A and B are shown apart, each in its own frame.
Chain A
Amino acid sequence: MPDLLIELFSEEIPARMQARAAADLQKLVTDGVVEAGLTYSGARSFATPRRLALTVHGLTAESPTTREERKGPRVDAPDKAIAGFCKSVGVAREDLEMRDDKKGQVFFAVMTREGRPAAQIVADVLESAIRNFPWPKSMRWGAGDLRWVRPLHGILCILTDEAGAEVVPLDVAGITSGDRTQGHRFMAPDAFSVVSFEDYEAKLKRAHVVLDAEERAEQIWHDATNAAFAQGLDVVEDRGLLTEVAGLVEWPVVLMGQIDEAFRDLPAEVLKTSMKEHQKFFSVRNAAEDGQITHFVTVANRATADDGATILAGNQKVLSARLSDAKFFWENDQRVARAGMAAWLESLENVTFHAKLGSQAERITRIAALAKELAPLVGADAAEAEQAAKFAKADLASEMVYEFPELQGVMGRYYVGMTSVPTSVAAAAEEHYAPLGPSDAVPTAPVSVAVALADKIDMLTGFWAIDEKPTGSKDPFALRRAALGVIRLVLENGLRISLNSRPGPFHFSAEAVGVQQRGDQSAGYADPNDLLSFLHDRLKVYLRDRGIPHDVIDACLAMPNADDLTLLVKRAEALAAFLKTDDGENLIQGFKRANNILTQAETADGVEYSFGPDAKLAETDEERALFAALDREGAAISSAIEAEDFASAMRGMASLRQPIDAFFEAVQVNADSQIVRRNRLNLLHLIRATCLRVADLTRLGG
């Protein structure tokens, strides 16, 4: 059972593509050899900046010879049919066999697939894998036509068994396979040959290449935390950065340096972002100094005779230049912030939010007005909410946010906090962007909630007005995220807002956008009903993830006040829970029985029996008992619904099943007397109407 080793050696592969590429190589090759009839016992793949590697062990030495027979047409069938058969099985007519069959002489095609040695199969599979590799972006180089992520220089491909290693011969666009590779670009550039995966991995390590990205990452983290610990510091964890850095080096060497005192006043977020984005440094905190970031860790790709002193000095210099910029921005920004930010608010008048939706300043004005409207509904002070919205996006014009867009909001909180406003107003500058994703925390401070809702509703009505709704996978303005934001803000804060009432948030916002759009013929008003149904669609997805079935949501959406999302969800949760109980079954069965007969009669008669039944016309005890039960439960159900106690209401409805069943046992609805019949149908109608008061049960499936 031979083992296979492949290495594709190239110029530097972007860090973000490496892990995926290693997995793709493994899949393409292992799928390919299995498809060709080989089996294997295991495989592992690896990536470094300059190589993708794959080891497949326990590969069968050759594929088995297979034989397959296919029965064809009779020998006296028309030529056309026989030719068609030959074509479909890929066998020449003279090679068909004639055999006796029940129906007479019939052609048979015998197809034999000769077994092939593993080397041939691997060569074919690897060439096809290289030529069809799913790089997110690939390129040509030199005068060739081959595509790879960056120029491909070498193919190492060997099969190793007890007898030794053999090169799998292969030539892809002039690159011939061999058993040689090379080590670290600077520390061990010489080529060497390998005889097995174990040999390959060991020799690479001697040549200053750690093959396994996970091992590189662990080593970086281990060395970084050790270096920090030795000085009583700790490294700020950043998994994404660790993975990226491990993809930038073959021989990681951790170096820790100090941040110049002159930059210690910068906010921690600025230090962290600048070091990470520009230099891929880890931040290092000093617990003794209030957790301030005082050091950094950089990862070099080599060891040097001076133990990295030159490299560290160079990195420190670049960092100082970067942080001088940041400090310059921070100082300039503070001046504007302390002066009340008027300059920023004014400059946002020249920043387009969207060509058809005006400037950022216009958008801020709309959000401020809407936040003020929303304030009483979320328990916020109206003046504070309006003020918070006015300042919430001022930092977009700051120099720091221009340089580091990802610090929007974070800087806002600092800058707004420098003016004489309540802390709730400063907090809203940061929190109003939230929630950004399904797992992002939702703000709870009332002022932040008001601005966050206003921000998102304005987005939605704005893009609805100019007909830029999300379609399929396209959602360039992240409107689904905005809608989910509205949903989570409302639900997680238990807010009671009729979004689509008139006047209400949707109409108010649509009007504000519309007024601004008046000059533009191509734009219209957002349709609040359409927007609500978009929100409802997102809500369905949100609730389905929480185990509430689709039909339950539909049954609740059909009820009035479905724009009050908290009420809607309360109803849906109660219904979903109730349906899982015996009483739930009783409710459904009782309702169905009454509803089926009533619907049939209504269809047949072409009328609706909604007059209200008269208990005096009841003829039997069972009928009277049902009247009594309805009378008794009806009142209880009404007060339960009034109190939004949907579970009690449904229990009341469920208790009707017994009298309903008894009624149907004893009573013929279609009585001879039309008066009695009509009264009984009106009675069923009352049952139906009672049961429909919590949810539209007709929409429940199964």
Chain B
Amino acid sequence: MPAPTRPDSFQEIILRLQTYWAAKGCAILQPYDMEVGAGTFHPGTTLRSLGNRAWAAAYVQPSRRPTDGRYGENPNRLQHYYQYQVLIKPSPPNLQELYLGSLEAIGVDMNLHDIRFVEDDWESPTLGAWGLGWEVWCDGMEVSQFTYFQQVGGHDCKPVSGELTYGLERLAMYVLGVDHVMDMPFNSPSAPIPLSYGDVFRQTEQEYSRFNFDTADTDKLLQHFKDAEAECLSILSVPAQDPKTGKTIIMAHPAYDQCIKASHLFNLLDARGVISVTERQAYIGRVRALAKACADAFVQTEAGGAAA
């Protein structure tokens, strides 16, 4: 294998990951068009990890964590950031090697760096999901999460999906040798109009930090949360038989959209500091109930592995 060349920008790292995983046979999906806290929420992961149908997908997912907002001042904390997500079902026996190959593809020289798989079990209380795996360390820095899904939405994963999640900004900062995220080149520094990460996102980090922490209308958010919850359950309660087409159409995805909404609204409420410690558990439980109901519905569908 030729010595990997070093990428020169954030976007080149993304492009190389896309090319690499496409070459390994993954469908390159696009980001899901809703606000989510992590790439795992994309139905391409959450729902597709259920049922017995084979699946292989990779995608960038913009992710929002309102509590992590720092007005663009912290060197590596952002309320909006990107995850790169790979999900392959069943998990192939060489998934670790495939993963290491992706690091080489973005310019990490395996002969000079120390890559380690350090125990880290993954659990998402809001999705009713858990798996075993590692955080992957490169020279002491966590660059990815590597998980074998065991359960999602309360369902055993059979077969098991292998999930890889790269925190793109952090990984790219390391590969590019940048200390502050806002200083990272977004496109090539030799482009006619070179743009830094800060050029693209500093202002939005400020705006959203202010909005998330101080301005978001909590009464409205609470109402939206209740609406999304009710809508999700109402969608799922509609009989599967569609009177118009005469077909059986279970609306798992539209219901799951409402679950995603509820989850994000909960995160916003949390950032506004209006959820007490005791209430927290109750809210998480409510979102989990939605995720579980959506999972129950999805496994009744064709994509979910139900006999057609």
Chain A interfacial positions (CB closer than 8 Å to B): 11-12, 14-16, 49, 137, 139-144, 149-151, 153, 186, 248-249, 279, 298, 300-302, 304-306, 310-311, 313-315, 317-319, 321, 324, 350-352, 355
Does A140 lie within 8 Å of B117, measured CB to CB? no
Quick one: given A141-B148, A314-B138, are A248 and B118 in contact (CB under 8 Å)? yes
Complex partner residue of A140 from B113, B116, B150, CB under 8 angstroms: B150
> 1/0 contact trace for B85-110 toward A, CB 8 Å?
00000111100100000000000001
| From B92, B96, B121, B138, contact of A11 by CB (8 A) | B96
Q: Indicate whether A311 sits within 8 Å of B116 (C-beta atoms), given known contacts A11-B96, A352-B276.
A: no
A319 to chain B: which residues have CB within 8 Å?
Answer: 140
Give 27 pairs: A residue, B residue, CB < 8 Å, sorted on A. Answer: A11-B96, A12-B119, A139-B131, A139-B132, A141-B90, A141-B148, A142-B160, A144-B159, A149-B132, A150-B132, A249-B116, A301-B114, A304-B112, A305-B111, A306-B112, A310-B112, A311-B114, A311-B139, A313-B139, A314-B113, A314-B139, A314-B140, A315-B140, A318-B140, A319-B140, A321-B76, A355-B278
Residue of B nearest to A149 (CB): B132
Q: What residues on B are CB-neighbors of A14 within 8 Å?
A: 119
Given contacts A150-B148, A352-B276, 18 further A-B contacts (CB under 8 A): A137-B121, A141-B90, A142-B91, A142-B160, A143-B90, A186-B111, A298-B140, A304-B112, A306-B112, A310-B113, A311-B112, A314-B114, A314-B140, A318-B141, A319-B140, A321-B75, A324-B75, A352-B277
Q: How far is the CB of A408 from chain B (nearest CB, A)?
A: 17
Bitwise, B156-186 to A at CB < 8 A (1) or not (0) is 0111101000000000001000010000000
List B contacts of A306 (CB < 8 A).
112
Q: How far is the CA of A314 from the CA of B142 in the complex (A)?
A: 11
Say yes or no: is B284 at the interface (Cβ < 8 Å to chain A).
no
Write out the residue numbers on chain B whose beta carbons fall within 8 Å of the beta carbon of A318. 139-141
Write the residues of chain B forming the contact surface with A, with a CB cutoff of 8 angstroms.
Answer: 75-76, 90-93, 96, 110-119, 121, 131-134, 138-141, 148, 150, 157-160, 162, 174, 179, 276-278
CA distance A318 to B139 in the complex (A): 8
Is the pair B92, A142 in contact by a Cβ cutoff of 8 Å?
A: yes
Q: Which of B96, B115, B119, B174 contacts A15 (CB 8 A)?
A: B119
Q: What residue of chain A has the Cβ atom nearest to residue B131's Cβ?
A: A139
Report the bound CA distance from A310 to B140 in whole Å. Answer: 11
The number of residue pairs between A and B whose CB atoms lie closer than 8 Å in the complex comes to: 97
A153-B91 Cα distance, complex, nearest whole Å = 13
Query: Which residues of A sit under 8 angstroms from B278, Cβ to Cβ?
Result: 352, 355
CB distance from A300 to the nearest CB of B (A): 4
Q: How far is the CA of A144 from the CA of B91 in the complex (A)?
A: 10
* Closest-CB distance, B148 to chain A (whole angstroms): 5
Please give, as numbers and ranges, the residues of chain A lying within 8 Å of B116 by CB-CB distance: 248-249, 301
- Which of A15, A49, A139, A302 is within 8 Å of B114, CB to CB? A302
B139 to chain A, nearest CB (A): 3
CB of A263, distance to nearest CB on chain B (Å): 15
Q: How far is the CA of A142 from the CA of B93 in the complex (A)?
A: 7
Q: Is the CB of A12 within 8 A of B134?
A: yes
Q: Which residues of A contact B139 (CB under 8 A)?
A: 310-311, 313-315, 318
B114: A residues at CB distance < 8 A: 300-302, 311, 314
B159 CB contacts on chain A under 8 angstroms: 142-144
Contact B90 A314 (CB under 8 A): no
The residue that B93 contacts in the complex, of A15, A16, A150, A151, with Cβ under 8 A, is A151
Residue of B nearest to A142 (CB): B90
**Closest residue of B by beta carbon distance from A15:** B119
Contacts of A15 in B (CB 8 A): 119
Taking CB atoms, residues of chain A closer than 8 Å to B162 are 141
CA distance A321 to B93 in the complex (A): 35
Q: How far is the CA of A422 from the CA of B119 in the complex (A)?
A: 45
CA distance A317 to B138 in the complex (A): 12
Return the contact of A141 from the options B76, B119, B160 (Cβ within 8 A).
Answer: B160
In the bound assembly, the distance between CA atoms of A300 and B114 in angstroms comes to: 6
A11 and B140 contact, CB distance less than 8 A:
no
A133 to B118, CA, bound (A): 22
| A17 nearest CB neighbor, chain B only | B119
Q: How far is the CA of A321 from the CA of B173 in the complex (A)?
A: 12
The chain B residue with its CB closest to the CB of A355 is B278
Q: Smallest CB–CB gap between B183 and chain A, Å?
A: 14
Chain A CB count within 10 A is highest, among B118, B119, B140, B141, for B140
Residue of B nearest to A310 (CB): B112
A313 partner residues in chain B, CB cutoff 8 A: 139
Q: With the chains together, A281 CA to B217 CA distance in Å?
A: 45
Q: How far is the CB of A396 from chain B (nearest CB, A)?
A: 13
Judge whether B75 and A141 touch: CB under 8 Å. no
